[in-house]
Amino acid sequence: MTINGKFPGPMIRAKAGDTIHVELTNKLHTEGVVIHWHGIRQFGTPWADGTASISQCAINAGETFIYRFKVDKAGTYFYHGHYGMQRSAGLYGSLIVDVAGGEKEPFHYDGEFNLLLSDWWHQSAHEQEIGLSSIPFRWIGEPQTLLMNGRGQYNCSLAAPFSSNYSSLGKCTLRGGEQCAPHILHALPNKTYRLRIASTTALASLNLAIGNHKMVVVEADGNYLQPFEVEDLDIYSGESYSVLVRTNQDPTQNYWVSIGVRGREPKTPQGLTLLNYLPNSASKLPLTAPPVTPKWDDYDHSKSFSNKILALMGSPKPPANYDHRIMLLNTQNRINGYTKWAINNVSLVLPFTPYLGSIKYGLKHAFDNNPPPENFSSNYDVMKPPINPNSTHGNAVYMLNLSSTTDVILQNANALSDNVSEIHPWHLHGHDFWVLGYGEGKFRDGHDEKKFNLKNPPLRNTAVIFPYGWTALRFVTDNPGVWAFHCHIEPHLHMGMGVVFAEGVHRVGNIPNQALACGLTGKKFMKKN
């Protein structure tokens, strides 16, 4: 899927405080579409969040929807489809917000590069969707190619001469000008570059490294970090980083930039591009092989990276206590033979009427009004496959009081097979949260919160749960609207791995009619007219 004939879609670049106005015309003849502005909190414009069945009705073929919203915070963001598997089909692009005029970033750089990372399958998103909702279940499998700015190669490797792994593929013979040719980073020696990195993968967790160069991490998800230096960085779907790279290596050489799969047994060759030191030719191959991606299941490496991420000194601190705590157990389940993911034993199936309208107008039949479970059984064994794998469908909403401090403890568990627990990056709409901590095994109430970092936890919109572990998040419900909170692995959301939060919906102003033109809100307004 392309936008204005482009894949990825065009980069949108604005300044903090700007209003972005996008007119999205759906020219997909046979399906609806929406676009989510990932990381933008949509204060006062919850109908512009771009989540089908949550913030708006999907835009029908031939129709145009106007997204108009303010970008209040500088940072590295992206946008993407939020309906079915349209992200896997390529519906995404970069969204960069620069600091407001007269303002400065808290670090210096001479130039910048942007890398939007994604993964690519030869199977269409429709086949993927059907496989996920079939008996027997057909998993999408690992991607064929990893992409940087939509570019990657199949059945050949840029690095074949260096590596026995990839020599079997043969060397890519690029003459220049091919659409699959990598996006080369052309740099001058002895400068500092800001590399913006965002991951909109449908599945893959990635590790990025630059041969011979260290990176200083300074931003995550549009929030400044206490700078720290690394040789490689893990990035999960839904996350973004800025790193500073000093081009202080031998200026007669070029250097590899590599991305490789983490957290799942990789079946996809590394994605590669070059850091080209000018005036060298970009066709000059580096002297050494591309950086090796850490072993896919070396979770200690991933945890050590996550634990280094702390807020820049002077950043907003979390409230010291919570008003409301929700425990969310993540399990893989079955419903009538279908493979699903469930949260506290409920697998999310979105309603036909978007919540924002049904809650605002009190249309009680639009979804299950019983509160969803805020906890799970204290004797659930997270280290074993579920004893009773059957779960239920649901579409109930966590109704949160406005201006309250909410803690969410995400609890990972064993999947359906023995000795399998997967990585899940959870993304919250409408807010940033503080990541208070990560832990192993089952969260111990009354004990583990003593280890929370309340001094300098990073603010983010996406945080990972490690296999068999828990992650603690805190946020303030300061944004009237209805907000998705879900695993950012697209097939996992499709299989039900998400929940919905609503706060202060009575305060939401005029929702554009078009966002309501389906389901029960559609009926209500059609009658009126």
Binding site residues, ligand ASC, CB under 6 A: 139, 415, 422, 492, 495
Instruction: Find the shortest distance in angstroms from Cβ 292 to ligand ASC.
Output: 24
- Indicate the residue among 407 and 422 with the shorter CB distance to ligand ASC: 422
> What is the rounded CA–CA span in Å between residue 202 and residue 210?
23
Q: Give the CA distances from residue 89 to residues 56, 66, 124, 191, 262, in Å, rounded to whole numbers and listed in that order.
A: 21, 22, 7, 37, 22
Query: What are the C-alpha distances in Å from 358 to residues 52, 190, 529?
Result: 13, 57, 18
Q: Check whether the bond before 351 is cis (ω within 30° of 0).
A: no
**Which residue lies nearer to ligand ASC by CB, 58 or 415?**
415
Identity of the residue, 116 or 415, whose beta carbon is nearer to ligand ASC in the bound complex: 415
Query: Residue 135 or residue 287: which is nearer to ligand ASC going by CB?
Result: 135
Q: What is the dihedral of CA 311, 314, 318, 321, to 10 degrees?
A: 130
CB of 425 to ligand ASC, least distance (A): 12
For ligand ASC, give the closer residue by CB, 263 or 290: 263
Nearer to ligand ASC, 151 or 494 (CB): 494
What amino acid occupies position 263? Answer: G
What H or E segment, with its residue span, contains residue 125? helix 125-132
Q: Report the C-alpha gap between 348 and 343 in whole angstroms.
A: 8
Tally of residues, the chain: 529
DSSP category for residue 403? T
Measured from the CB atom, the residue of 139 and 228 that comes closer to ligand ASC is: 139
CB of 340 to ligand ASC, least distance (A): 9
Q: CB 131 → ligand ASC: shortest distance, Å?
A: 10
Q: At its nearest, how many Å lie between ligand ASC and the CB of residue 139?
A: 4
Q: Pick the closer one to ligand ASC by CB: 118 or 331.
A: 331
Residue 388: CB minimum distance to ligand ASC, A: 18
Residue nearest to ligand ASC (CB): 139
Would you say 194 or 340 has its CB closer to ligand ASC? 340
Q: Which is nearer to ligand ASC, 275 or 495 (CB)?
A: 495
Q: Which of 187, 225, 152 is nearest to 435 (CA)?
A: 225
Burial class (CB in 10 A: 0-12, 13-18, 19+), 195: buried
Q: What is the closest distance, in whole angstroms, from the C-beta atom of residue 203 to ligand ASC in the complex?
A: 8
C-alpha to C-alpha distances, 80 to 49, 77, 127, 419, nearest whole angstrom: 11, 10, 20, 33
SS (H, E, C) 359-396: HHCCCHHHCCCCCCCCCCCCCCCCCCCCCCCECEEECC
Cα dist from 183 to 167, 198, 244, 483, 511, whole Å:
22, 15, 19, 35, 41
The smaller minimum CB distance to ligand ASC, of residues 23 and 265, is found at: 265
Rounded (10°) CA dihedral 57, 62, 68, 71:
90
Nearest Cα neighbor of 165 from 294, 270, 286 is 270
* Rounded alpha-carbon distances, angstroms, from residue 503 to 53, 118, 157, 160, 311: 16, 32, 49, 53, 26
Looking at residue 88, the DSSP 8-state letter turns out to be T
At closest approach, how far in Å is the CB of 476 from ligand ASC?
Answer: 32
CB of 508 to ligand ASC, least distance (A): 34
203 vs 484 by CB, closer to ligand ASC: 203
* SS3 assignment, position 69: strand
Shortest Å distance, C-beta 135 to ligand ASC: 13
CB of residue 268 to ligand ASC, shortest distance in Å: 14
To the nearest whole angstrom, how small is the minimum distance from the Cβ of residue 422 to ligand ASC?
Answer: 5
Q: What is the DSSP letter of 414?
A: -
Give least dist CB 127 to ligand ASC, A. Answer: 16
**For residue 236, which of 333, 176, 306 has the smallest C-alpha distance?**
306
Separation CA 497–CA 332 (nearest Å): 9
Q: Count Cα neighbours of 458 within 13 Å in the Cβ-side half-sphere.
A: 25
Taking the least distance from each CB to ligand ASC, the nearer of 36 and 492 is: 492
For residue 514, what is the DSSP state? Answer: G
